Structure formats: structure tokens, C-alpha cells
Structure 1
Amino acid sequence: MDHRAETLRAQGALAMLRCAHRTPGITRAEAAARLGLSSGSAAGIMGRLRAARLLAEAPAPQTGGRGRPTAVLVPHPDGPLVAVVDITHATWTVTTAAIGGALAAAPVHRLLGQPASAVLPLVRDALAALHGPRLRAVGVAIPGTVHGRTLVEATNLRWRGVDLGVLTSLPLAVGNDASLAGVAEALRGAAQGVGVALHLTVEVGVGGVLIVDGRPVLGAAGAGGEFGHLPFGDPSRRCPCGAGGCWDLEVDGRAMARHLGRRVPADPRAFAERTIAAARNGDPAAAAACRAVAAALGRGVGALINAVDPAVVTLGGLGVDLLDVAGPALHAGTAEGVMAWRRDALPPVVPAALGSQGPAIGAAESAMALVLTEAALTA
């Protein structure tokens, strides 16, 4: 067979593989139609993918209707895996994902207050325990500014200049947690099929990403999306990042504590959770603090709508809870922050669909993108 024919075969196999990954539960016939393949070509490609232990077929869920039973494309039981490292402000987890994107269950470990020098060896050991011929790449989600494989700064972890390449010798994709959550929402969540989407995640501060046609806009050095350090707050307040007036300080547990007359909490995320729970239980002071924070979040959302013109805004983390307990204040803040001509046609501001798994799902997608290439398929 000549080189051109072999290239076409590889491209067809890769297209089928990517289709199965992007659309879990798709049948071979549906994939063939989507890719413009004849049934014979699809059967041939599927045979090669099965022989290469990349894809398999399984019976479709029973619907109770008549007709010939069909099968869906599923990951081969011996197929490739990617490892996923999800580091938050308080925990770390190492798990795996197969073609189709499903994350395996994994234990959650505490890290609150520990330096990178104490945490990364534990993460590296957990990854080493997964090593084997099936593992092809690693994706890392972390709450900080990332440049390549380097964590430039994670302000709330107090980690700076950390080389995450020490975790593995496998191909590695590293990303900011909020940015990866936005990628996940665009591919598998509330922003699927949307041309321009803005994702924001509130945890300790707020981060996010602009997604255009399913791809993140990360800037010249890959460090974009640090929306929490826009000067939407009181300029007299100094942020741990070194700037004054950061939006971060207006929208999380630190802001809630300030509105309640409390000192800065050691764990702003946990404090915010307790305050939101109290608001749900009818505590008027907690409810007022949530409304104030939601309004500040909304005003910043309005400013970003002016700046980037998204078709939808998805909110993750504490943003989901603030929509629930103080939605009117958040929406009023958004309307206050946008230019007047936009107020009659604001883009929807909706909860993220993937919850706390968003960053890990995004990290899995970034790692799987390193696997689903012609070169990797050939290997």
C-alpha cells in the first residue's frame, strides 16, 4: 500500500477515534454518517481500531422498541488511558480517564497549607503507581497562573515558580483549573455548541477563560484568564498577588467575612460554604453578605460581557451557590455593569453543568488531545 493510502487510513481511524471520544455512546452507523463514511469503510476502520486495542463495541442500552439490536462505540478494555492530577486550594487527586472522557473514582487527599515540596512527591508517587503500557499522557489542573509546564504563581497556595514537569516523564499538559473547567464546559457541559462562551469559577478568588469555537483563549504566554486580578474592587485593598483592588477580594469567603465583620478566614472556601449554608437556613446577616458578594460578582460579569461579548456565561464553584441563594442580586449587578444597550438582550448567566469535576475533566481532555494524534496513533 502506498504512503498516501496509509495516511488516509490513519486519518480515517483518527477521525473515528475522536468521534467516539467526543460523543460517548455513539453507534458506528451514527459515526459513519457524521464523518461521511460508507458503512463498509466504517466497518473496516472499526476493525483496525479493535485490532489495535483502541475501540470496541458494546450493546446499546435497551429501549424496549422493536428493531435490530445496535452497538455503541466504547473504549477498548486494554486501550489507552491518561492520568489526571486535580490540585485545588485544599486537596489533590490523581485519577485516570479513558477514551470517552469518563473519570475513574479516586481518593481525595488534603493539602491545605502544605508547600509544593511536600505535595508534589506524593503526587509523583501516585502517578508512578499508575504507570504501565496503557498510560500515555498526564493532565494537571491547578489553581494558579501557568506558563508551559511551570506554575508561575498560585497565590492562595503560596506556591511560586514550581516546575510541574518533575511529576512525570510522559507527555504533560498543565492548565489553570478555571480555564480547564471552561474547556470542559465547552466540550461536555453547559457551553456545548456555543461559538463564544465565558466561563468563571469562584473558589478562593475568581478565574476563568474565554472559549471561542471550543478552544480557550489563553494569551501570548498561556497565562490568560486571571480575571480575578482585574481592578474591580476597592483599590485600597491589597491582594496577595501584589496588586490593589483585585476582584478576587470582592467575591469569595474573604469578602463574606468582611461583610459580616469577621477577620480574614484561614480557609476562605470553607467560610464561604458555611455562610451560604446559613443563608439557605434563613440567617439574615449571612443572606445579606451573600447578596453583597453576588452583586460584586455580577458587576464584574457585566464588565466582562462588555469586553468579550460572549453568547453565554457559565459559573462554576461558589458561583453556582451564589446564583442559587442570591440570584436576583447577581443578575441585578450584571445589568448594572453592562452598557445600557445590552440590557434588553443579556447573554444567559447559567450554572456550570460539570460541577467540581470540571477542572479534572478539562485536564483529561487536554491530556487526551496529546494522545489522539496521527503520530500517537501510529505509535
Structure 2
Amino acid sequence: MAQARGSDADSGPIKVGRAEAARWSGALDLLRLVRARPGVTRAEAARVLGVGSGTATEICSRLRALDLLSEHPAPPSGRGRPTTTLHAHPDGPLVAVVDIRQAEWRVAVADLEGALSEPATGRHGSKRPEQVLAAVGEAVAAIGERHGTRVRAVAVSAAATVRRERFVQSSVLGWRDVEVAPLLPGVPQVLGNDATLAGLAEARLAHPGRSVLYLTIEVGIGGVYVDGDRAVTGATGAGGEFGHVPFGEPGLACPCGATGCWDVAVDGRAVARRLGEPEPDDPRAYLIEALVDPRARAAVAACSTSLGRGAAGLANVLDPEVVCFGGLAPEVRRAAPDAFAAAFEAGLMGFRRDDPPELIASALGPDAFLLGAAEAAFDAVLTEQSIGDWTAARFA
């Protein structure tokens, strides 16, 4: 597009280059605000960013001209000048997001506002990484064909430990040291542990600015500590493997290679073991059935006790404002609330019992993993370099 989509009646010609770097700071701040608060009014955005109404109008005008932002008239609110609400541009940047689970995968598209669309799903014919990634790659390639250069990043969530941008270990998938080639060549790609990304989305979207300990039960238990909207994942990205702290049965081997892991003390494998049954092929489905099976009541209560004790221990260490439970964790807690409550209170340090962290269930549901992948992808998109590349691609 060689024409004047790079101009605007309010802002004049759009200029691209290093001389504009300082002006991008305010533009990026505004885009991040719209991502966090879709539909925020321009007047409120000016207040939050600490800029005048004229500056906010100028920034919005530039971003409209770059297909990065759209504005809609705000409903009348009595006295005061009319304002607008700020939204993702209908032709603006998109990201492709992937979630790889034990038995299936999901792919979707996300826009600046976080809306998920164009879902595609598939079940694993084989868990061999090359076959799973080939199927996922076809779905992502189809997104690229539909949207072209609008797709600015790809993010992949998987039930696996991530270290230095590789899936180094996954007990549920049977993967070891898997490198993921770019699913869309030339497009930045981010890999993330599923629980880490789900917790990032939960913290940013439901509890912005607060310190959140997120714990989720799927196959095993995982999670992350999010402080100031930033996931704390350690020096190489492999932090947050809460399922592999020794909160479980001492000496019991875990597929990760350690013993005594919490991972195998709270899910369907733990219930089956306590019932004297073989380890289930699908621990998640097994746990769902056990939650309503009177015969499994004591085994589920033992899992709830383990969940409460472990959550208390991590609360002692990390000092979160909120402990949020995702996946099947709220159901395990709900199935045996007294067992959970007793274990959680007993596990807290004495001074914490008078002011414990808030305990809540996830607000995001099964889309948490994809929404977290979208958060990670847009972290890569909303940078000066990336927006400069967008401008060059759209208006060169």
C-alpha cells in the first residue's frame, strides 16, 4: 500500500523513522491500556496516562491512521465534552495462539482486545512431537493465509516445561527437549508452559496489578506466581513448576524423574492409586468422574487436603494477595471443602491466619490457556520495533 493511508486529517502525514521514537512511547502506552481495558474512553485514557486531551487526541489520530486503533462515540454521560471509546482496529494486528493438551490441541486468532476467534481443534493421532506440531502448523498456516501480514506473532502454550524457548520436558505428552520450528516463518514466536500462561492471563485480566499465586489441576498441578502483571519464571523460564515440589508422598516416583512430587498427589492418578486401581490413561477425565462418585469420596478428600496444604506452603513462601485456582482445582476444593480449609489453615504460618490471602476460582474458564498465549504474543507485538515493522509493512 503505497498511498496516503499513512496520512490523517487530524495529524498530518505519518512519519516513520528514528526521529519518531520518543513519540512511540505514548502510543505504545495507549495501545497497552486499550489491551488491558478495551472500550476505555479517550478522556479516561488521557487521565490514566497523565497527558492532556489534545495529546490524547493526536495519539489516537496517529494510531487510527496506522490501523492500530479505532474509536467509537461514547454514550452521552451528562455534562462535559463528548468523547470516544477506544478499540482494536478491524484491520489491526492479530496473533495466532496455540494450546497443546494431553489429548488434543486448539488454535485460535486473537486481536488487540483479547477476543478469540476462528477456533480450530484436533485430537492427537500420535503424541510424537513432529506429528502434533505438523497438525498444529497446518492450522496456523491457514490463519496466515487468511490474514497475511496482519498476523504479527505466534504463541504456543503446552503442558510442558519451557526452558530457553524449548519444551524440555512433558510428562503428559512424553516429550523431551523439543524444539519448535517457526510455525509462521518470519513471524516472532513465543513458547510457554500452559499453567504459566493461564496464570498470567488470570492475573492481568481479572486481578491487574495484584500479586497472584495461580494453581491449576489438569494432569498434575501447575501454576505460576505473577507479581505486578509479570510472571516470575526464573533465570531460564523454567520456574513455576509447583507440581514438582515435594508436597506429595515421600518416595513416590514422578514421571518427571523426582520423588515425592505434589503433581501426583492431587489428580486422577492419586485418586486411582488410593482406590487401588491402575493408573488411568486420561487422569483428567478420571478425576472428573471421581468427583461425583460416592465410592471415591475419601480419595478426593485426600487430594483436597493435599491441595490445601500445598497452597498454604506456597502462600507462606510467596506472600500473594490472591490465590487463584484454575482447571479442576476449584472442583477438588468444592468436593471436600472442610478438608481443604483445615489443611490450608493448618499450613499457614501463625501470623498469616489473621489476614490470609484471598482464595478464589478462576474467572477465565477453559480459554485461560489461549488467553495467556495471547498475552505473551502481544507482549512481543507491543514494542517499538514491532510497531515500526507493522508501519513499514502496511505503508511502505
After the TM superposition, which residues 175-194 of structure 1 pair with which residues of structure 2 at under 5 Å, given as runs? 175-189=192-206, 191-194=207-210
User: Using the alignment, how far apart are the partners of 2:181 and 2:251 within structure 1?
Assistant: 38
Residue 378 of structure 1, CA deviation: 1.6
Q: Residue 63 of structure 2 aligns with which residue?
A: 49
Residue 262 of structure 1, CA deviation: 1.8
Deviations 1:328-373 (A, max 9, x none): 2212111122223322222122111112111211110111011111
Q: Residue 12 of structure 1 aligns with which residue?
A: 26
User: Using the alignment, how far apart are the partners of 1:14 and 1:166 within structure 2?
Assistant: 26
Residue 59 of structure 1, CA deviation: 4.1
Q: Residue 149 of structure 1 aligns with which residue?
A: 165
Q: Look up the SS of the partner of 2:336 in the other structure.
A: helix
8 Å Cα contact 1:89-1:157 kept in structure 2:
yes
Q: Look up the SS of the partner of 2:249 in the other structure.
A: coil
TM-score, with normalisation over the residues of structure 2? 0.88
Q: Residue 38 of structure 1 aligns with which residue?
A: 52
Question: What is the one-letter code of the residue matched to 2:173?
Answer: L
Instruction: Indicate whether 1:125 and 2:138 are aligned.
Output: yes
After the TM superposition, which residues 276-287 of structure 1 pair with which residues of structure 2 at under 5 Å, given as runs? 276-278=291-293, 283=294, 285-287=295-297
> Following superposition, which runs of at least 4 residues in structure 1 exceed 4 angstroms of deviation?
1-5, 65-70
Instruction: Indicate whether 1:346 and 2:375 are aligned.
Output: no
User: Using the alignment, how far apart are the partners of 2:125 and 2:234 within structure 1?
Assistant: 30
| Structure 2 residues without counterparts, runs of 5 or longer | 1-14, 390-396
Q: Look up the SS of the partner of 2:281 in the other structure.
A: coil
1:337 to 340, 347, 370: 347
Q: Residue 86 of structure 1 aligns with which residue?
A: 99
The 1:293–1:357 alpha-carbon spacing in structure 2 relative to 1, beyond 3 Å, is same
Instruction: Indicate whether 1:165 and 2:175 are aligned.
Output: no
User: Using the alignment, how far apart are the partners of 1:368 and 1:22 within structure 2?
Assistant: 11
8 Å Cα contact 2:16-2:388 kept in structure 1:
no
| Structure 1 residues without counterparts, runs of 5 or longer | none
Q: Residue 257 of structure 2 aligns with which residue?
A: 242
The 1:4–1:119 alpha-carbon spacing in structure 2 relative to 1, beyond 3 Å, is closer
Instruction: Indicate whether 1:77 and 2:90 are aligned.
Output: yes
Instruction: Indicate whether 1:371 and 2:387 are aligned.
Output: no
8 Å Cα contact 1:149-1:165 kept in structure 2:
no
User: Using the alignment, how far apart are the partners of 2:367 and 2:18 within structure 1?
Assistant: 41
Q: Look up the SS of the partner of 1:219 in the other structure.
A: coil
Cα-Cα RMSD = 2.0
Instruction: Indicate whether 1:307 and 2:322 are aligned.
Output: no
User: Using the alignment, how far apart are the partners of 2:16 and 2:379 within structure 1?
Assistant: 28
Residue 71 of structure 1, CA deviation: 3.0
Question: What is the one-letter code of the residue matched to 2:208?
Answer: Q
User: Using the alignment, how far apart are the partners of 2:73 and 2:176 within structure 1?
Assistant: 49
User: Using the alignment, how far apart are the partners of 2:87 and 2:285 within structure 1?
Assistant: 39
Residue 271 of structure 1, CA deviation: 0.2
User: Using the alignment, how far apart are the partners of 1:52 and 1:4 within structure 2?
Assistant: 17
The 1:102–1:268 alpha-carbon spacing in structure 2 relative to 1, beyond 3 Å, is same
User: Using the alignment, how far apart are the partners of 2:220 and 2:177 within structure 1?
Assistant: 20
Residue 125 of structure 1, CA deviation: 1.1
Q: Look up the SS of the partner of 2:354 in the other structure.
A: helix
The 1:147–1:4 alpha-carbon spacing in structure 2 relative to 1, beyond 3 Å, is closer
8 Å Cα contact 1:21-1:100 kept in structure 2:
yes
Instruction: Indicate whether 1:272 and 2:287 are aligned.
Output: yes
Q: Residue 135 of structure 1 aligns with which residue?
A: 151
Question: What is the one-letter code of the residue matched to 1:82?
Answer: V
Number of equivalent positions: 370
User: Using the alignment, how far apart are the partners of 2:349 and 2:125 within structure 1?
Assistant: 41
User: Using the alignment, how far apart are the partners of 1:308 and 1:148 within structure 2?
Assistant: 24
Instruction: Indicate whether 1:294 and 2:304 are aligned.
Output: yes
8 Å Cα contact 1:209-1:217 kept in structure 2:
yes
Q: Residue 202 of structure 1 aligns with which residue?
A: 217
User: Using the alignment, how far apart are the partners of 1:237 and 1:266 within structure 2?
Assistant: 19
Question: What is the one-letter code of the residue matched to 1:56?
Answer: S
Residue 316 of structure 1, CA deviation: 0.6
Residue 43 of structure 1, CA deviation: 1.3
What percentage of residue pairs aligned between the two structures are identical? 47
Question: What is the one-letter code of the residue matched to 1:135?
Answer: V
The 1:133–1:255 alpha-carbon spacing in structure 2 relative to 1, beyond 3 Å, is same
8 Å Cα contact 1:258-1:264 kept in structure 2:
yes
Question: What is the one-letter code of the residue matched to 2:255?
Answer: P
Deviations 1:263-307 (A, max 9, x none): 2111000000111133xxxx2x23322211100111111111122
The 1:245–1:112 alpha-carbon spacing in structure 2 relative to 1, beyond 3 Å, is farther
User: Using the alignment, how far apart are the partners of 1:207 and 1:258 within structure 2?
Assistant: 20
The 1:45–1:155 alpha-carbon spacing in structure 2 relative to 1, beyond 3 Å, is same
